[in-house]
Amino acid sequence: MSEFALELRNLSKHFGVTRALDDASLRVRRGSVHGLVGENGAGKSTLIKVLAGIHRPDAGSLWVDGQPYSHFSPRQVAKLGIQFIHQERLLPASFTVGEALLFGQEIHRGPFVQRRAQQREAERLLDEHFGLSLPSGALIGELSCAEQQVVQITRALIAKPQVLVFDEPSVALVQREVEQLLGIVRRLREQGLAIIYISHYLQEIEHLCDRVTVLRNGRDVADVDPRETSLAEITRLMVNREVAEMYPKQAVALGEPLLEVKGLGRSPVYRDVDLQVRRGEIVGLTGLVGSGAKELLKSLFGLAPAQQGEIRLDGQPLDLGSAHQAVREGIALLPEERRRQGVALDLTVQENTTLASLSRFTRLGLVSADSERRQTEALIDDLAIKTSGPLAAVRQLSGGNQQKVALAKWLSRQSNLYLLDEPSVGIDIGAKVEIYRLIGTLVEQGAGVLLLSSDLPELLGLCDRIYVMHRGAIVAERKATDLDADSLLALASATHEEQEVRHVR
């Protein structure tokens, strides 16, 4: 018996003139967690689709339990004991837990499905694998992201897999749920499964994986032990640049105060907030879950108006009662939930880009498609958005490019104050650097940026000053150069109490 449960040897795959995989290899030992990392476009998705039998490789071979195959069919993949846990929860929202778990394996008596028996079996399976008692009659759409993931993993385990592939499983989870997920993966490793774990979050890779394969430009450029290789080195291997280059910050002369907040409050989430953002300045805002930071950002965009205090924009009092008013005043919000709130996935790049500024392209009630296209093409070039053109659906773009489109919408509006809520969540390192450069360009042009982030290196690398919130109040304001990650986390924790911390990305 081979020591490797799975081997992908020298795989190549072309799509027209594009070389998605170029002699790439991956070897996964039994009873181990093998990380797979790389920028968007590095070849991870293509490699996994070859493994799933969706793509047939142009060259190379696949080995399972020491047996070679030139390619797989999807049916063969399942028969060989390879299962996938996808980032998107592929469970019908209208199914019950029992129906989702046993779909295709229903319990029948004659032609009739035995729903009560099915619910009892679902409860037994959840208890057997995870010691959980989710209500088997609950609808999938009523469950949290973490609970849906447990159902998805349990469904995969029913097939008694030998290899389990986790594709960006923690994107929608908070820290407590991430820790639960990592505990599940460790337990599956102890049971002898071979696990491939794909994630942009290198802290997870460091704490979980036994080996890590790094893909870059379709090739495997390294296979390393994360306990002996620093995250900085893994990052360098991924992007082929030093980590110091990740936070491109230019010295910008600060202008007059753009945003001034005094004594702002909204019970019970925050109180007595004093805050200032100058033109040309990147100001950080951070805090643990429940600190009130996210609610404060919503208030500054008119989504949850403050009940007390004063907001001034360019020295003028501002009574923000709605998001529509905030947009009129030149305030932009890049929300954390990019796919649900930042962009309209089924609209084109052009439609998304001009969505907040249609009046600029409208005359006598008619929209000028030519003007829209010219503006969109200019922003595609300026932001280096990777797309087939202005009429491409945003759904087809990578996460980093969707984030650029969300930003292009406000650039088209010619906004002055940018409220950025976790702008680098769920995008790869290369795309993060490009977003950081765009943020720098905004302040160089005289805008002001308020950056809410739980990524401490991001805050320290980008910001001029950082405000820290704890239990609804600003507890510290510091120059970024006077802080490090440990001191910043200590400030956010205030008295170092046990609290639920967001996933530090």
3-state secondary structure of 69: strand
Residues of the chain predicted below pLDDT 70: 1, 40, 87-90, 104, 106, 108, 113, 129-136, 171-176, 241-245, 339, 426, 494-505
Q: CA–CA separation, 38 vs 23, rounded Å?
A: 16
SS3 content of the chain, % helix, strand, coil (to 5): 35, 25, 35
Looking at residue 96, its pLDDT comes to 82
**How remote is the C-alpha of 459 from its chain's centroid?**
17
Other CB atoms within 10 A of residue 317 CB: 9
Domain 4-242 is of which CATH architecture?
3-Layer(aba) Sandwich (3.40)
Q: Tens of pLDDT along 171-187?
A: 666 666 778 888 889 99
Looking at residue 243, its pLDDT comes to 56
3-state secondary structure of 466: strand
Q: CA–CA separation, 471 vs 489, rounded Å?
A: 14
Looking at residue 494, its pLDDT comes to 59
To the question of pTM greater than 0.75 for the whole model, the response is no
Paired strand residues for 434 = none
Same fold, 4-242 and 258-330+416-495: yes
Tell me which CATH code domain 258-330+416-495 carries.
Answer: 3.40.50.300
Looking at residue 315, its pLDDT comes to 94
Looking at residue 224, its pLDDT comes to 96
Q: CA–CA separation, 32 vs 20, rounded Å?
A: 27
Q: Per-domain residue ranges for the chain?
A: 4-242, 258-330+416-495, 347-414
The amino acid at residue 364 is L
Would you say 115 and 98 are in contact if contact means Cβ atoms under 8 Å apart?
Answer: yes
Q: Tens of pLDDT along 201-249?
A: 788 898 899 999 999 889 999 999 999 998 878 888 887 766 566 777 7
Looking at residue 133, its pLDDT comes to 66
Show the CA angle centred on residue 271, arms to residues 270 and 274, nearest 5°: 110
Paired strand residues for 278 = 257
